[in-house]
Structure formats: structure tokens, C-alpha cells
Amino acid sequence: MQIQDSVALVTGARRGIGAEWVRQLQERGARKVYAAVRDGSQEPIPGAELLHLDVTDPVGIARAAVQVSDLTLLVNNAGIAAHARLTDGDLTAVRNELEVNFFGPLNTVRAFAPILGANGGGAIVNVLSALAWFAYDGAGGYAAAKAAAWSLTDSVRLELRSQNTQVSSVMMGAVDTDMSAHYDGPKISPHDLVEIALDGIEAGRFEILADDTAKYAKASLNLDPEQRYAALPAA
Ligand SMILES: NC(=O)c1ccc[n+]([C@@H]2O[C@H](COP(=O)([O-])OP(=O)(O)OC[C@H]3O[C@@H](n4cnc5c(N)ncnc54)[C@H](OP(=O)(O)O)[C@@H]3O)[C@@H](O)[C@H]2O)c1
């Protein structure tokens, strides 16, 4: 999938990693970028076409789909992290994490995949997390939602193979945005993340491992849990 002349839609485009997707898609020559935002403001995003879209609202997404008949690249970027623990955290927060991080991309894929197919296949990229592969105490709901979205990515790739849609995931540890403001560990910049992701999409990669955290999480999947989590202090 080449970005030059593509028509892209980015969810959660107002800030953080989403805003960086919008910028770099334009830099790489996308013909049009739909910047999908859930806020009601008309504040423009330079060079992009604003689209109002909440990924948890299938009716609104269906309305948006009518406006993007030229779409060739869907970037499922929108996400939330409620830091909810599974055993004693707020269950509503856990459900919200699944609504946005799993059902969100599912809603957009169901609405936009037929358009991608009609335009020759195109591509879908799901912005996931290394926490799809590695649990972290304090992010149980988020990790479960991202793991489900990782599985979704593989299923959607198989289901859309006949319409020639490339389906990829981007996996990474912390990125320097509002979402990780509380976290003091190493973070990559949104710029570097999106650059690596776009290179991966253009190279036709199904899984784009954007940093060492993602590479470790992936490589450790074949270890027993006591080995995978050995570096963590005992509770
Ligand atoms: N930052 C990290 O450390 C990190 C690490 C791994 C993966 N990720 C993933 O990267 C993606 C982008 O995160 P970020 O770091 O840019 O986070 P962020 O700065 O918190 O931005 C999140 C974006 O998602 C949007 N959003 C939230 N709920 C939405 C909904 N229901 N419908 C539509 N848009 C919604 C937000 O819109 P509003 O502006 O309206 O709130 C915002 O634009 C997420 O999928 C996240 O899980 C982030």
C-alpha cells in the first residue's frame, strides 16, 4: 500500500498520535486526509477534511461512511486508557475500554471495509499496543481490549483477503502523548512512531513492531508466564 495518492481516514485525529498521522500522511502525498474527531467544534485541522465521528456510535459512523466514498486507507487510532484493574477496578471503565479499543475498530471496519473493497482493496491499520501481548498491573482492562483488537486484526485480514485489503497492526510501548503523561519510563515520540508505522504499511507488513517494548513483548510470547514476568517485583 503506497501512501502517495491514497485517501486516508484517521480516527482520534485531534491530538496525540492521531494528529501526527494526519501530518505525516499529508507529507507522504496522501491525496486527501479525513481527520475524524469526536468533539463538536469546527476548529480546522490544517490540510485535512474534518469528519465528526465517535467510534462507539455505529449510526454516526454509517453517516460518515456516506461522505467518504473515495476512502482507500483506514487508520483506527482512537483509544482510551482508563487504568482499570480487572479484579477490583471500576467495571464501567473496563467496559468503556472495550467499547472504544475493541468495538471502536470493529464498528469502523464494518462500515468502511466495503468502501475500501469498492476502491480496489486499500488498507486498514489498527493502532494497538504491546500490552496486547504483555499484562501490566493497573492496565488489565486496556490490555484485554488491545489483545481482543489484535485478534480482530488477524480475523479481519483473513475475512477481507478476497477483496485485497491489507490489514496491519502497530504495536508499541509508551508514546509521548496525554495518554502516557503519568508514566515516567521510556517513550517514543509520536513522530517516530508514525514514521515507522507508515514505512511498515508501505512495505506491506502485517505487524509493525515500533519499539523495543513491542519487540520484547512479541519475542516473549513463547515463554511460560513465570519467565515472561520474572523481571517484575513480587506483589
Ligand atoms: N500514548 C501511549 O503511550 C500509547 C501506547 C500504546 C498504544 N497507544 C494507542 O495509540 C492510540 C492513540 O493514543 P494517544 O497516545 O494519541 O492518546 P491520546 O493522546 O489520549 O488521544 C486519544 C485520541 O482518541 C480519541 N478518542 C477517544 N475516545 C474516542 C471515541 N469514543 N471516538 C473517537 N475518538 C476517540 C481522542 O479524542 P478526544 O480528543 O475527543 O478525547 C483522542 O483524539 C490509542 O489507540 C492508544 O491506545 C498509545
pLDDT tens, 128-137? Answer: 999 999 999 9
- Catalytic positions are 142, 146
- What are the residue boundaries of the structural domains of the chain, listed by start? 7-228
pLDDT mean across residues, the chain: 96
Closest CA to 24 of 42, 50, 48, 41: 48
pLDDT band at residue 230 using 50, 70 and 90 as cut-offs: confident
CA of 12 to the centre of ligand 1 (A): 6
CA of 98 to the centre of ligand 1 (A): 13
Dihedral angle, C-alpha 143, 144, 147, 151, nearest 10 °: -160
Q: Which superfamily, per CATH, for 7-228?
A: NAD(P)-binding Rossmann-like Domain (3.40.50.720)
Atom of ligand 1 nearest to the CA of 178: 19
Q: Is ligand 1 within 6 A of the CB of residue 126?
A: no
pTM reported for the whole predicted model: 0.97
CA of 162 to the centre of ligand 1 (A): 31
Q: Is ligand 1 within 6 A of the CB of residue 32?
A: no
Q: Is ligand 1 within 6 A of the CB of residue 79?
A: yes
pLDDT band at residue 231 using 50, 70 and 90 as cut-offs: low
pLDDT tens for residues 66-83?
A: 999 999 999 999 999 999
Residue whose grid cell is 486507507: 73
Backbone torsion region of residue 182, taken as left when φ is above 0, otherwise alpha when ψ lies between -120 and 50, otherwise beta: alpha
Which residue's CA is the nearest one to ligand 1's atom 29? 78
pLDDT tens for residues 24-59?
A: 999 999 999 999 999 878 799 999 999 999 999 999
Q: How far apart are CA 58 and CA 68, in angstroms?
A: 15
Q: Is ligand 1 within 6 A of the CB of residue 77?
A: yes
